[in-house]
Each structure stands twice: as structure tokens, then as C-alpha cells.
Amino acid sequence: MTVNYPNGKKFKPKERESEFSIKAKKNGSYSNRGMTLEEDLNETNEYYRERKIAVIHKKPTPVQIVQVDYPNRSAAVIKEAYFKLASTTDYNGVYKGKYIDFEAKETQNPTSFPLKNFHQHQIQHMEEVLNQGGTCFVILRFTRFEHVYLLEAKHLLMFWERMKNGGRKSMTKEEIEQNGHHIPLGFQPRIDYIKVIDRL
């Protein structure tokens, strides 16, 4: 089956981990190095769910099916599909009776976070969540330093508005440090953002 991104590029699934890396991770010597932000957050959310702290899930990426073959009456085989642009944010759920909604992004840029990583429809969705009294934020990772920050949506909206008014097209790392909340990387959970929500 061929699966493509909206820009036409082919989707390449991740290679399976070697037996060495799996064993090393289990032994703790490999830690979580090489894990993506999404993988770290999925592990964190599973930790919260198992311990009945919060129920937060990653939303599935919508897929547009283009070509389907029917080799026999009881089976259908998808031959070609495209990832559609997600209409909202990556994660949502409930914590202490409060609706939680957030987006997760990472950058290799060491000094700033490009706002082009966000889309207008995501910004609009965050505004709507805030207007309904939900808790909305973004989790940002600077991959070069392994620094992770929680930035409340109200601050992201401020930087977005600045860009729309002709200002800079990114948030500096310093601005994120001033307006956001640093999340130290841990073992279990890996990215304990609930601790930050408790302080907000």
C-alpha cells in the first residue's frame, strides 16, 4: 500500500529497532535517547492513564483513501492513501474534570521556534478551546538541547498575532523561557506536564 503526505511525499515507516537497542532500553543503558517528542508524550499519557491520573490520547491523523482493490468479495486492500492535514491539535482528554487540549512540536533550531510549524486552523481551534474555558497549550522541544517547555496557548496566540502584524516569524528561545514552563525530562513519566498544569 502507498501512503503519501499532503505534499505528495511518500510516507516511510520507521525501521524496526534492533534486538540490541531493545535490550539496551530495557536495561536502562539506552534510556530514551532517540525517542521523538510524540513517543515520549504517548508513554507519558499511558503512565497517566494506567495510574488513573488523567485520560489523554493522541488523535489519529485523518487519511484520505484514494485507491482500493477488491481481490475477493470478503476483502478490500487499500492500494493508495494520503495523510490529510489535521484540523485541530494533536492531543486531548480530561484531567480532574477539566478539558485538556494541546499540540506538540519540536525543532532543531537552537535559538528560536518557527511559527510556520503551526497552522491557522490550529490557532483558531486553540482560541475556541480557551473561549470555552478549556486548558490549552503547546509542548515545544528544542531537540539539540533536549529542552522541553509548556507554553500556554494565550502566549502562542500573542506571538501569532505579532507575526500577522508584520513582526518576527518565530518565538525566540528566550521568549519561550520567559513565558513558558520548563519541563525537566524524567524516567516515569518522561515529560511530566501535569505537574505544570497543577501550577497554572
Residue 30 has pLDDT above 80, yes or no: no
Cα gap 155→93, rounded to integer Å: 21
Among 14, 10, 7, 2, smallest CA distance to 84 is for 7
Handedness of CA 26, 30, 36, 41 (dihedral sign): positive
Which long-range contacts (C-beta less than 8 Å, at least 24 apart) are formed by 181-186? Answer: 181/149, 181/150, 181/151, 182/147, 182/148, 182/149, 183/139, 183/148, 183/149, 183/150, 185/32, 185/40, 185/146, 185/148
Among 102, 94, 98, smallest CA distance to 49 is for 94
Spell out the residues 6+ positions from residue 175 whose beta carbon is closer than 8 angstroms to its own. Answer: 159
Residue 150 has pLDDT above 60, yes or no: yes
- Judge contact between 58 and 38, C-beta under 8 A: yes
If pLDDT is split at 50, 70 and 90, which confidence band does 4 have? Answer: low
Q: Give the mean pLDDT of 52-59.
A: 95
Which cell goes with 95? 484531567
Of the chain, the end-to-end C-alpha distance in Å amounts to 45
Q: Which domains are assigned to the chain?
A: 2-199 (3.40.1350.10)
If pLDDT is split at 50, 70 and 90, which confidence band does 23 have? Answer: very low
Question: Which of the residue ranges 10-24, 122-136, 167-181 would you say has the lowest mean pLDDT?
Answer: 10-24
Rg (CA), the chain: 19
